[in-house]
Amino acid sequence: MDIIVVIGQIRLFVWYAIATVILAVIALMLVRLILNKADLNPFSRPVIMLRRWTDPLVNPVRRVVIRMGFGPNVAPLFVILAALVLGYLASEFIGAVLDTVLGLVNSTRRGAPISFVGCLLYGFIAVYMLLIFARILYSWFANPNSRLLHFLIRATEPVLGPFRRVIPPVGGMMDISPVIVMFLLDLLRRAVAVTLIR
C-alpha cells in the first residue's frame, strides 16, 4: 500500500477518534448539567454513575473555575471548552507531524534534498508554534506546579524569553510576546514552504 494512502487513512482515523472523544465529553457534560438542573436525588444510581464517569474531568476544572470567580456549576461548560481546544491542538499537532512525514517521503522519492530539509524545518516550526499556543492556553488554567506546564515553559522559553525582554507588556500586564513570536514563526513557516519545499 502506498505511504500517501496510509497517511491519509491515519489522518482520517485520528480525526474520527478525536471527534468521537469530544462528542462523548460534550454529551456527558450536557447530561450532567441537565441532571444538576433537574435536582434529582444525588444518591440515585444514574446520578452516582454519571458523577463517577465525569468527576475526573470536572473536579480539576471546578477548582480553576472557582478561582476565576465563577460558580462551580458551570465547570461542565469549561470542560466542553477544554475538550474542544485540546481536540484542536491534538489534531493540529498530528496533522503537522503527518504532513511532515508525507513531505519527507515525497522529497525522498523525487530525490530532492532541499525539499527534504524544507519539510523538516516546516514540521519543526509547526510543532513549535503549537507548543507556544498550548503554553498560552495551559498557563491560564493549569496548576503552576503542573509537569506539563513546566515542560511547555522549558521548551518555549528559549525563544520567548528574548522577545519578552524587548517587548513591554501591554497596559503593564498583558504579555503579547507569544503572539508576536507566533506571527513571526508563521511568516518563517510560509517562507520555508515557498522557498525550500516548492
- Is there a single domain that holds both residue 119 and residue 57? no
Q: End of a domain among 74, 89, 104? A: 89
Confidence (pLDDT) at 173: 67
Q: How many CA atoms lie within 13 A of 99 on its CB side?
A: 17
Q: How many CB atoms lie within 10 A of CB 198?
A: 9
Burial label, 2 (beta-carbon count in 10 A; 0-12, 13-18, 19+): exposed
Q: How many CA atoms lie within 13 A of 101 on its CB side?
A: 14
Burial label, 151 (beta-carbon count in 10 A; 0-12, 13-18, 19+): middle
Would you say 64 and 141 are in contact if contact means Cβ atoms under 8 Å apart? yes
| SS3 at position 174 | strand
Judge whether 53 lies within some domain.
yes
What distance in Å separates the CA atoms of residue 52 and residue 39, rounded to the nearest whole number? Answer: 17
- Is there a single domain that holds both residue 73 and residue 128? no
- Is there a single domain that holds both residue 84 and residue 126? no
- Is there a single domain that holds both residue 134 and residue 51? no
The pTM of the full predicted model, rounded to 2 decimals, is 0.72
- Is there a single domain that holds both residue 119 and residue 67? no
User: For residue 60, what is its C-alpha cell?
Assistant: 480539576
Compute CA distances 8 → 39, 86, 87, whole Å: 47, 22, 19
The helix or strand, by DSSP H or E, that contains position 32, with its residue range, turns out to be helix 3-38
pLDDT tens digits for the chain (198 residues)? 588 888 889 989 999 999 999 999 999 999 888 887 777 777 778 778 888 888 888 887 887 778 778 887 888 888 898 889 888 888 888 888 888 888 888 899 889 999 999 999 999 998 999 899 888 877 776 677 888 889 999 999 999 999 988 888 776 667 788 888 988 998 998 899 899 887
Judge whether 142 lies within some domain.
yes
Cβ neighbours for 161, distance < 8 A, ≥ 6 positions apart: none
